[in-house]
Structure 1
Amino acid sequence: MNTPFPEIMTERLHLRAATPADAEDMLRYLSDPEVMKHTGMEPFQNTEDVLDEINWYHSLVEEDSGIRWGITLKGTGKMIGSCGFHNREKKHFRAEVGYELSPEHWGKGIASEALRAVVRYGFSHLRLERIEALIEPENEPSLRLVEKNGFLREGLLRHYEYGRGKFDDLYMYSILKEDIALADRVG
């Protein structure tokens, strides 16, 4: 059974499936060294690299191991980033969240708005109990983003990933479904 890709609307954003038609827009930010600096991947070189990324997004859904939304500003249709889940462990009700955003949209609350919507979707529709974020210690904007959105730092995973010719330490952050429920009651 093919279910349609779930779209999410927020105050300013339309989160939707990425398509090959988005490749040029995506290449603009995925080829930026600043955007890719903390991803463990080299900046993308061409639209073929982007099409591979879009295929990976689609494989997450097909394999039921995650879901990745393209971030667009309402009314524009132009892809400015992505946010979603990977490494989903259905048996354990958990997944890892990831995101990136085009630099011209940094500092405007867009990543926070997208992350909040995706986290809520994960808890309400994917039946997640725990959402994790693995972040390089030097990635201060990402650390601030998750902390501002209720994630708690659990510890440092030393030499956890290998990418771009080096081993990276990563902070493990998490948010639990009950953390959101508590924030809703208090807020």
Structure 2
Amino acid sequence: MKSYFSSERIRLRAMEPEDLEVMYAMENDPLTWDVTNFTVPYSKFVLKQYIENSECDMFADRQLRMMIVRSEDDVVVGTIDITEFVPMHSRGEVGIAIRREYQGNGYAKEALNLLCDYAFGFLHLKQLIVHIATDNEASMRLFESCGFVPCGLLKEWWCTGGTFKDVALLQRLR
């Protein structure tokens, strides 16, 4: 039977209390704030509550966050999310973050393919979207390689370091 949550090198799993330190470090990395809409650091208390209160049910939480875990040693290499889930329209927005020391190893592509298989094959979503700064060539390549196609351009959408950036909207339809 096909597993929606594992490939040869990684597996996706629900958040666990022991993920607090990794999530704290990732969420409080100012280099990622330009794509998250966060303006202040998260406290460990807030993240602990988030982990504890998540039902890990996309229909209840209106979002799904899963940890990307390397199979060979159980190291958390990143997170992948479906946010802005709208059941009525059968769509959600994808977000992915790979810890800096694990970037460039193909983990993001494997995780994104697993998430898409789950979203379309099991949850029967109609579409997934993603917002990507047009100068983020690596993310553009990643999402396009996983079947996402550009469908719009948002001019001066994100402000980073006092400069406004254009953002591409990509979508993948079932």
- Return the TM-score normalized by structure 2: 0.81
* Structure 1 residue 175 corresponds to structure 2 residue 169: no
The answer to which of 81-90 and 159-168 deviates more is 159-168
1:123 to 105, 120, 123: 120
Contact 2:55 2:61 in 1 (8 A): no
Contact 2:4 2:117 in 1 (8 A): no
Amino acid at match of 2:82: F
Q: Cα deviation per residue 1:105-143 (whole Å; 9 max; x = unaligned)?
A: 111100010000001100011111111111222322211
Amino acid at match of 1:170: V
- Return the TM-score normalized by structure 1: 0.76
The percent identity for this pair of structures is: 28
Contact 1:30 1:43 in 2 (8 A): no
Q: What's the offset of the Cα at 1:158?
A: 3.6
Q: Unaligned stretches of 5+ in structure 2?
A: none
1:148 to 142, 145, 150: 145
Contact 1:27 1:47 in 2 (8 A): yes
Amino acid at match of 1:173: L
Partner of 2:31: 34
CA gap 1:123/1:84 in 2 versus in 1, 3 angstroms:
same
Partner of 1:83: 80
1:24 to 21, 45, 69: 21
Q: Unaligned stretches of 5+ in structure 1?
A: 1-5, 178-187
Contact 2:34 2:158 in 1 (8 A): no
Distance 2:119 2:27 in 1: 25
Cα RMSD between the aligned structures? 3.0
The answer to which of 100-109 and 46-55 deviates more is 46-55
The answer to which of 39-48 and 107-116 deviates more is 39-48
The answer to which of 96-105 and 42-51 deviates more is 42-51
Contact 1:71 1:83 in 2 (8 A): yes
